[in-house]
Structure 1
Amino acid sequence: MTGAESDLVEMAWDPITRIVGSLGIYTKIDFKQKRVVECHSTSSIFRGYSLFMQGKDPRDAHFITSRICGICGDNHATCSVYAQNMAYGVRPPHLGEWILNLGEAAEYMFDHNIFQENLVGVDYCERMVAETNPGVLELANRTESPHAGDHGYRTIGDIMRSLNPLEGDFYREALQVSRSTREMFCLMEGRHVHPSTLYPGGVGTVATVQLFTDYLTRLMRYVDFMKRVVPMHDDLFDFFYTALPGYEEVGRRRVLLGCWGSLNNPDHCDFRYETMTDWGRQMFVTPGVIVDGKLVTTDLVTINLGIRILLGSSYYEDWEDKEMFVTRDALGNPVDRRHPWNQHTIPRPAKRDFDGKYSWTMSPRWFDGTDHLALDTGGGPIARLWATALAGLVDFGYVKSTGHSVLINLPRTVTRPETTFEWKIPQWSNAIERNRARTYFQAYSAACAVYFVERALAEVRAGHTKTWEPFTVPKDAHSVGFTEAVRGVLSHHMVIRNGRIANYHPYPPTPWNGSVRDTYGTPGPYEDAVQNTPIFEENPPDRFKGIDIMRAVRSFDPCLPCGVHMFLGDGKVIKTSHSPMGVTLAT
């Protein structure tokens, strides 16, 4: 061991909790230089949905894949329905799509709110800051809040106290808000988080003026709430930049962002692959790939064909010698062997070795023709807002993308006037800006929902109350659904043969953000963001909590359920016996 290596301290956080405990972060830290020099991210349980989807009736796909996650299950159901619509050649009635959009907007509001205030917000609360940076808390107590008149907290310290778990007033208020947003979702799709009225071809929701009025009543309370939240978070996040010079480097990585777009516009979307380029650009959240701050493409066909699944340091065998399910897409473009349509999942568990294989998470990459880019979603909102801002394609009254920012106009509410917020493209893709974008995207989702309610009510009042279109399942087809899960990019690739699913691969944001070192040695986004992070925590190594590392990881909104399901094959009866009551028991 060299002198430099002997100064490194190995530290691990496994499991990282607050949502699910299958994520491990393993680091080497140079405490003399106060910097993380190496990081490995692990996911400890095998995900097997791609295996047990095989042979299923494709009409069941959204009900099954919804169970991938108990947090964003509706995003999976939605994406699966999109893939089925393409495969079946069905276009839902406009009202059905507006209802689905209202459900998805409510999910964004619900999930971002509860994560921002009740999970990641804890990292910035008074108690946490007191334990890790007491000097920062002293400064916070002396620092006036620039927007105190908007949110009601006189100092930054007051904001931090309001975020204290269970006892903070804002923490408790956010929990109440999350309840109303979940009710909004249930009004549209029957049940949260596994929709009961969402189907290919539309929805089974009975559309009435009362239904949308009930939604709108809750929505306007949320709009009122966001008029306080946005300036409050701006004050808090801006304070960290001034209190800790250099804090912009925490969680910072190269700007490599991916957004697959979300909230389809039923005036344009027909779900045909052949027209996907056009209707994709009409989404209310614009798809896009951003490299070093520049928008590379907004074309969903180009995005689709660029997806590659690399194995690298994950516990799987390669499929280079296996069957290719799709060689060309519906437009005649060649499809790569490493594309999800052609993926074979062959698990091979092994002892964890950071010089070899160490995680169940594969390494999705986007191939730009030269490099396999380790895109991240930034937790979802920063990629969505960045792509939408640069594309300049969204303009519907409540939201306008300008080419360098996104204008969000929230209408007048009972207690507050009409308010416009502007999310501006930041200098960095780092922990603070990922978190800030999450707040602004809540406002963005609320503004979209106001518009969707108006369009849905117009349909009902015009007598257009049909919400579902019948369809037939083809014998053979291949299709894709694209949307944005709460935490970022989500795609479902499906191949149908003889009326049954032959291949099915859902790719949520978890494997993109939490991927491991790929075939070319490129680290995944968690790894990349953490291993460049400076240490600002004031505690010595023996009392080190790793708050800067945790802020870097949690800024991505890590949610491992999408990567942690066990596949047990067909099962095995070990012993058969008979109970005294004559009942056969298998154990």
Structure 2
Amino acid sequence: MTQNRETELVDMAWDPITRIVGSLGIYTKIDFKQRIVAQCRSTSSIFRGYSIFMKGKDPRDAHFITSRICGICGDNHATCSCYAQNMAYRVKPPHLGEWIVNLGEAAEYMFDHNIFQENLVGVDYCEKMVAETNPGVLAAADRTESPHAGDHGHRTIGDIMRSLNPFTGAFYREALQVSRLTREMFCLMEGRHVHPSTLYPGGVGTVATIQLMTDYLSRLMRYVEFMKKVVPMHDDLFDFFYQALPGYEQVGNRRILLGCWGSFQDPEHCNFEYADMTDWGRKMYVTPGIVVDGKLVTTDLVKINLGIRILLGSSYYDDWAEQEMFVTHDPLGNPVDRRHPWNQHTNPRPQKRDLEDKYSWVMSPRWYDGRDYLALDTGGGPLARLWSTALAGLVDIGYVRSTGSSVQINLPKTALKGPVELEWKIPRWSNTIERNRARTYFQAYAAACALHFAEKALVEIRAGRTRTWESFEVPDEGIGCGFTEAVRGALSHHMVIRDGKIANYHPYPPTPWNASPRDIFGTPGPYEDAVQGQPIFEENDREHFKGIDIMRTVRSFDPCLPCGVHMYLGGGRKLELLHSPTQSPGGE
């Protein structure tokens, strides 16, 4: 911590941010007199190199390799890569294969959101943390009755906070047990977590039986039971913070600029043909869309694809403006920009960190609307997904329904409780609290969708349509793009094939969208934008300041920085062996 005496700003840094994977650093200037964060820089010391060593590989290996990008959401990468390969190979998986993929991805959403929300984010709101940063808020929490105590069993908000205490809190421990069930569900569908062993282009290798679905459903219903108390409990907790701290809605608040690439294909409509992508994209059970200032700009995956731009600015790379363009036009004849992932080149240039110039290995993805390069964020994943799906009003499968202003979730009767109807309503803000709230609701949404997918899969199995994979051939020349939602947000894979090998490959997970530094136009990335300008509510003075609301904001995006290679060798060094390690210099 250093102080700038001229401006009365205090430099404070958190590097690395704890409770996540990866080297994320947050560097701030804080005005304690005005009690605001005056400036923020988001840095990453991890180099993303998959785009380099994917070149020359067999395209059929792409999902196995890119799964290793991350030890958390590897299956999301594998799934997205298979989508891109399906397009390039022009193969349509059997219906049952796609229902199984959906069931696996739904289990992953449930697993990851559960363990992150309850065992990582929840710690920021637990009794021990609140006591250290806002003792006045804890005192108020102990006096405040929980509006939905009958649904979740915690009489006061303070009781909820105590249940979130790590390792000792009852809810904290219960969530750990539930995460095991969801991981088992994933393994039933895709063989291994987190790097699937049965997922391929053209479908899956999973042997589909009624017993397989029964094993999945038995665990799913226990998760549904769990969510019936989790949603009202978190609503009570998050609503309390608005009540206890007037103005708290400004913590992590930024302009509504949300991007969702859609999730859960409907095999009755999806053929993975680029020419039909607009139509089958809108049939996804999570609707793709871009939301600007609360309005749905588009749900067209073709337009979303063509609008992606990869900008530099404050990142450690040289430009590729003079290098080869791989794709000049998409399969529909639309021009493709040089800064689109199909045409990107990765030219790393390591250098000393300079917070006024180059300071991060993360590039700056933006979405170009024809006028502005928009710094979209994913809202941690669920906020963008629910917001886009709600506004589009295209989903109606009984268990879930989008209304144009909300998403309705219908959870059926379980062992201990009857049917429950939940409704996520579009909020006023894209802020820290609403990102976290949406994560809770999306867990319920994923569970409800999984019920539908399981029913569809059982129809196929009982009808004897048990084929789960379709054969294909790799073309000598081709392009493909895959779009889905990783747990924490928008995920795309773009591939170019030449001479039967990968000529160019660029995966873009939510990390660069959310963690990007300032771009060539000086536009801050979402982490930076959400933290910069937010008020300080922590009761500690500057000497004991923990930055709890800064941490809550960054973690509300579900940050994850391992999507890259942890090492850069430059030109390398030549090592010369002067003598055998088994012999003495004299050769004896």
Q: TM-score range by the shorter chain?
A: over 0.9
Superimposed CA distance per residue, residues 228-278 of structure 1 (whole angstroms, 9 cap, x where no aligned partner): 000000000000000000000000000000000000000000000000000
SS of the residue 1:99 aligns to = helix
Task: For 1:285, give the aligned amino acid.
Answer: V
1:302 positional shift: 0.1
Would you say the 8 A contact 2:46–2:561 is kept in 1? no
Change (3 A) 1:450 1:570: farther
1:352 positional shift: 1.1
1:563 positional shift: 4.2
Change (3 A) 1:204 1:245: same
Divergent runs of 4+, >2 A = 2-6, 563-573, 575-582
Which shows bigger deviation, 16-25 or 210-219? Answer: 16-25
TM-score by length of 1: 0.98
SS of the residue 2:334 aligns to = coil
Separation in 2 of the partners of 1:239 and 1:101? 35
The corresponding residue for 1:181 is 182
1:133 lines up with 2:134 in the alignment: yes
1:580 lines up with 2:582 in the alignment: yes
1:220 positional shift: 0.1
Separation in 1 of the partners of 2:305 and 2:381? 18
Change (3 A) 1:243 1:370: same
1:580 positional shift: 3.1
Any residues of structure 2 matched to 1:22-101 within 5 Å, and which? 22-101=23-102
Would you say the 8 A contact 1:68–1:565 is kept in 2? no
1:569 positional shift: 7.1
Separation in 1 of the partners of 2:573 and 2:221? 54
Would you say the 8 A contact 1:411–1:419 is kept in 2? yes
Task: For 2:113, give the aligned amino acid.
Answer: H
1:336 lines up with 2:299 in the alignment: no
Change (3 A) 1:106 1:303: same
Gaps of at least 5 residues in structure 2 are none
The corresponding residue for 1:253 is 254
Would you say the 8 A contact 1:43–1:564 is kept in 2? no
1:348 positional shift: 0.6
Separation in 2 of the partners of 1:392 and 1:532? 34
1:6 positional shift: 2.4
Superimposed CA distance per residue, residues 102-134 of structure 1 (whole angstroms, 9 cap, x where no aligned partner): 000000000000000000100000000000000
Separation in 2 of the partners of 1:454 and 1:148? 33
Aligned residues: 581
The corresponding residue for 1:110 is 111
The corresponding residue for 2:309 is 308
1:538 lines up with 2:549 in the alignment: no
Gaps of at least 5 residues in structure 1 are 583-587
Any residues of structure 2 matched to 1:196-207 within 5 Å, and which? 196-207=197-208
1:21 positional shift: 3.9
Would you say the 8 A contact 1:43–1:563 is kept in 2? no
Task: For 2:265, give the aligned amino acid.
Answer: N
Separation in 1 of the partners of 2:5 and 2:395? 52
The corresponding residue for 1:585 is none
Would you say the 8 A contact 1:49–1:565 is kept in 2? no
In angstroms, what is the RMSD of aligned CA positions? 1.4
Would you say the 8 A contact 1:262–1:283 is kept in 2? yes
1:3 positional shift: 9.4
The corresponding residue for 2:325 is 324
The corresponding residue for 1:503 is 504
Task: For 2:52, give the aligned amino acid.
Answer: L
1:369 positional shift: 0.1
Superimposed CA distance per residue, residues 148-189 of structure 1 (whole angstroms, 9 cap, x where no aligned partner): 000000000000000000110100000000011000000000
SS of the residue 1:87 aligns to = helix
Would you say the 8 A contact 2:96–2:466 is kept in 1? yes
SS of the residue 2:213 aligns to = helix
Superimposed CA distance per residue, residues 188-220 of structure 1 (whole angstroms, 9 cap, x where no aligned partner): 000000000000000000000000000000000
Separation in 2 of the partners of 1:19 and 1:527? 17
1:571 positional shift: 6.2
Any residues of structure 2 matched to 1:424-463 within 5 Å, and which? 424-463=425-464
1:565 positional shift: 3.4
Would you say the 8 A contact 1:82–1:480 is kept in 2? yes
Task: For 1:74, give the aligned amino acid.
Answer: D
SS of the residue 2:563 aligns to = helix
SS of the residue 2:110 aligns to = helix
Separation in 1 of the partners of 2:477 and 2:569? 28
SS of the residue 1:153 aligns to = coil
The corresponding residue for 1:392 is 393
Separation in 2 of the partners of 1:113 and 1:474? 41
SS of the residue 2:68 aligns to = helix
Task: For 1:440, give the aligned amino acid.
Answer: Y
1:45 positional shift: 2.0
Separation in 1 of the partners of 2:533 and 2:396? 38
Would you say the 8 A contact 1:38–1:531 is kept in 2? yes
Change (3 A) 1:535 1:81: same
1:581 positional shift: 9.0
Change (3 A) 1:497 1:537: same
1:579 positional shift: 3.9
Separation in 2 of the partners of 1:262 and 1:554? 23
Would you say the 8 A contact 2:407–2:423 is kept in 1? yes
Separation in 2 of the partners of 1:29 and 1:567? 33
Would you say the 8 A contact 2:4–2:11 is kept in 1? no
The percent of aligned pairs where both chains have the same amino acid is: 79
Which shows bigger deviation, 38-47 or 367-376? Answer: 38-47
1:568 positional shift: 4.1
SS of the residue 1:290 aligns to = strand
1:493 lines up with 2:521 in the alignment: no
Separation in 2 of the partners of 1:357 and 1:371? 23
1:62 positional shift: 0.1
Task: For 1:368, give the aligned amino acid.
Answer: D
The corresponding residue for 1:479 is 480
1:351 positional shift: 1.3
SS of the residue 2:562 aligns to = helix
SS of the residue 2:227 aligns to = helix
1:85 positional shift: 0.2
Separation in 2 of the partners of 1:559 and 1:494? 23
1:566 positional shift: 2.7
Would you say the 8 A contact 1:341–1:493 is kept in 2? yes
The corresponding residue for 2:235 is 234
Task: For 1:444, give the aligned amino acid.
Answer: Y
Would you say the 8 A contact 2:50–2:565 is kept in 1? no
Would you say the 8 A contact 1:361–1:563 is kept in 2? no
Change (3 A) 1:4 1:393: farther
TM-score by length of 2: 0.97
Task: For 1:518, give the aligned amino acid.
Answer: D
